Structure formats: structure tokens, C-alpha cells
């Protein structure tokens, strides 16, 4: 007889690109999931698959205390590109501290490739490095995943291409990134959280490297379309940053500039190790995009409408 699940997973950012997929995958396994959502977000599908909804503001410490009750595993996937200090950094530090106090079994954090190399002048990478160090020093079980950070923009760019037929390509579009299917990323997140062999490790996570130009060519091939690409030199971002400083909105542009200026890739060895340890084969980006661009029900179910 199948035993009912007793362990509880707290997934923050449950309406985000990764969090939503993680919640769906955990529920498919029949796990108990507390999905952290905000009023006004699109969380109906999470309730429909049987996740317990927890409404709260992750920047509020008391909301974290309440959310942590009875939790065995924390999977932290919340983010806010304009409030990196308040929402990303401080809330993750509070989450870690409180998870430790509650004695959770494992804390899973989605960091990013290159945080140890390029944190300077890139607030999101800097925040992620501080959070990684807190996990390393705090004394609770953790697993840190490092996928390529530009991956976050993959579907957003494709949506823009589909909608407008054009795309602004900032900086050198020939630099390569280790793109990964969001479904694979969610699957890996769930698997490493559940497997004690991965505790206290930092894992680079990404597929074969492709440049943004490669992506555009892949999109052209899959859709048989000729999108208009508007190249913009990287230094234009500096001008925009300067203007936005006055509005204190410039943080994410600093990160973007760093992401557009370097290659963020996984070695063949890292990819093979990941596949062998997890007994998975990463799907090709072409497979993932074909599914996504076809907007089949499975993927549109996970898509974030924002």
C-alpha cells in the first residue's frame, strides 16, 4: 500500500518560472507542498494540483516564521529583479536563519553560474554569493544549484519575439551560455533536494553552450520566421543605468551588463557528471522550445502570465 506523504516542502516563489514547475513536479509525486504565493498572482493551477497555498510577503520576517512551521525541506526560488537587497538577499538570509532554527532537513537554493567570479558590480550575483556563503557557514544541510542566470530571460525573450517579431540584442550576442530547459531545471531541483548524497554541495547546472545568436537561429528554424533583430552596444546600458540611478532602479542593469559581457558555461565533465549522478539526460533546447513554442497544454499550464 502506498503510504501518504508526511514530509512537507516549502516552495518560495511558487508562481515563478522555476517554483511553479517544482510545485507541479512535487505534487505529481504526491508530496505535501506549501506553495508561497502572493495575493493577486496567478496561483490557481497550484491549488488545483493540491498544493497548500501560503499567502505572505517574503520580505516580512514574521511571515517566514509562520510559513516554516512543520516544514522538512525548503526550496527557495523567489526573486524580484528591482528589490535585490530587500527581497532576494535579506529574505533569503532570514529564511536560512529560521530554517536552521526549525531544524529543516535540507535547504535548496537556486544560485547562478559565475557568482564566484563576476559578483563585482552585479548586485544579483553579489547577493547570491553572500547567500551561498551563509549556507556554507550556517551548519544546516543545503544544496546550491548554479544554472546560467540569463536562462531566466529565455522564455521572456521568445514571448517578445512571438508577440512583436523583433528583439533588442544588447552587447555581444556571440558569447555563449549554458541554457537549460526549465522543466529539467525543476526536475533537478526536486531530485537533489530528495537525495541525501547531494547534501552540502554546489552544483553547476546547464546544458551545451549556445550564444544568443544561436538561439535566434534556432527560433527562426523552429518558427520559419524572420524576426527583426536590433543590435544595441553594451555601453548604451551604462547610459540607461546612469539615468535610472536617480530612481534607484538600476540594480538589475548592473547584473545584465555582467551577464552580457562574459560566457557562463558548464564543462562537458559537469554536464556528464550531473546526468550520471541523477540518471537523467538533459533535453535539448530545441526539444524544450519546440514544446514551448507549440504552446501545448503541458507547458502553457506552467507559463507565468506576467
- Contacting positions for ligand NAP (CB under 6 A): 13-19, 36, 38, 41, 57-59, 77-80, 87, 110, 112, 147, 149, 151-152, 182, 185, 304
> Which residue, 5 or 130, is less far from ligand NAP as judged by CB?
130
Alpha helices in 165-284 (DSSP H): 182-194, 212-223, 235-245, 251-261, 268-278
Distance in Å, CB of 55 to ligand NAP, minimum: 9
**Nearest residue to the partner ligand NAP, using Cβ:** 16
> Which residue, 15 or 141, is less far from ligand NAP as judged by CB?
15
Q: Where are the beta strands (DSSP E) in the chain?
A: 8-12, 32-37, 52-55, 73-76, 106-110, 142-146, 166-170, 176-177, 201-204, 210-211, 228-232
> Which residue, 225 or 300, is less far from ligand NAP as judged by CB?
300
> Which residue, 5 or 59, is less far from ligand NAP as judged by CB?
59
| Cα(187)–Cα(201) distance, integer angstroms | 17
Distance in Å, CB of 81 to ligand NAP, minimum: 7
Distance in Å, CB of 192 to ligand NAP, minimum: 14
- The alpha carbon torsion through 107, 31, 101, 93 (nearest 10 deg) reads 40
Distance in Å, CB of 305 to ligand NAP, minimum: 9
Distance in Å, CB of 27 to ligand NAP, minimum: 16
> Which residue, 5 or 208, is less far from ligand NAP as judged by CB?
208
Query: HSE-up of 300 (CA within 13 Å, CB side)?
Result: 6
Using DSSP, state whether 4 is helix, strand or coil.
Answer: coil
- Residue located via cell numbers 554569493: 129
| Cα(142)–Cα(105) distance, integer angstroms | 9
Distance in Å, CB of 31 to ligand NAP, minimum: 19
Distance in Å, CB of 6 to ligand NAP, minimum: 26
What's the farthest any 2 CA atoms get from each other in the chain? 64
> Which residue, 29 or 86, is less far from ligand NAP as judged by CB?
86
Helix, strand, coil percentages (3-state) for the chain, rounded to 5, are: 50, 15, 35
Instruction: Give, to the nearest 10 degrees, the angle between helix 154-164 and helix 285-293.
Output: 50
Closest by Cα among 119, 102, 121 to 111? 119
> Which residue, 18 or 266, is less far from ligand NAP as judged by CB?
18
Amino acid at each position: 500500500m502506498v503510504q501518504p506523504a508526511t514530509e512537507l516542502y516549502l516552495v518560495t516563489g511558487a508562481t515563478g518560472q522555476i517554483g511553479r514547475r517544482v510545485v507541479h513536479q512535487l505534487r505529481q509525486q504526491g508530496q505535501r507542498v506549501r506553495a508561497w504565493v502572493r495575493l493577486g498572482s496567478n496561483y490557481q493551477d497550484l491549488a488545483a494540483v493540491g498544493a497548500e497555498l501560503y499567502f505572505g510577503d517574503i520580505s516580512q520576517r514574521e511571515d517566514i516564521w509562520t510559513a516554516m512551521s512543520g516544514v522538512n525541506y525548503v526550496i527557495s526560488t523567489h526573486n524580484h529583479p528591482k528589490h535585490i537587497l530587500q527581497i532576494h538577499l535579506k529574505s533569503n538570509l532570514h529564511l536560512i536563519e529560521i530554517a536552521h532554527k526549525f531544524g529543516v532537513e535540507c535547504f535548496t537554493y537556486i544560485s547562478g553560474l559565475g557568482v564566484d567570479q563576476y559578483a563585482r558590480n552585479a548586485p544579483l550575483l553579489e547577493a547570491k554569493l553572500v547567500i551561498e556563503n551563509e549556507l556554507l557557514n550556517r551548519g544546516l544541510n543545503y544544496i546550491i544549484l548554479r544554472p546560467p542566470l540569463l536562462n531566466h530571460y529565455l522564455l521572456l525573450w521568445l514571448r517578445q519575439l512571438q508577440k512583436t517579431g523583433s528583439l533588442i540584442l544588447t552587447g555581444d550576442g556571440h558569447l555563449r551560455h549554458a541554457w537549460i530547459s526549465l522543466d529539467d531545471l525543476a526536475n533537478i531541483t526536486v531530485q537533489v533536494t530528495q537525495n541525501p548524497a547531494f547534501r552540502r554541495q554546489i552544483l553547476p547546472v546547464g546544458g551545451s553552450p549556445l550564444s544568443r545568436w544561436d538561439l535566434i537561429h534556432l527560433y527562426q528554424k523552429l518558427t520559419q520566421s524572420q524576426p527583426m533583430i536590433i543590435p544595441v552596444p553594451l555601453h548604451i546600458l551604462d547610459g540607461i543605468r546612469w539615468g535610472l540611478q536617480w530612481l534607484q532602479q538600476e540594480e538589475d542593469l548592473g547584473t545584465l551588463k555582467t551577464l552580457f559581457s562574459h560566457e557562463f558555461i558548464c564543462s562537458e565533465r559537469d554536464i556528464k557528471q550531473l546526468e550520471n549522478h541523477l540518471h537523467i539526460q538533459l533535453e535539448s533546447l530545441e526539444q524544450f522550445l519546440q514544446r514551448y513554442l507549440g504552446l501545448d497544454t503541458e507547458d502553457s499550464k506552467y507559463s507565468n502570465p506576467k
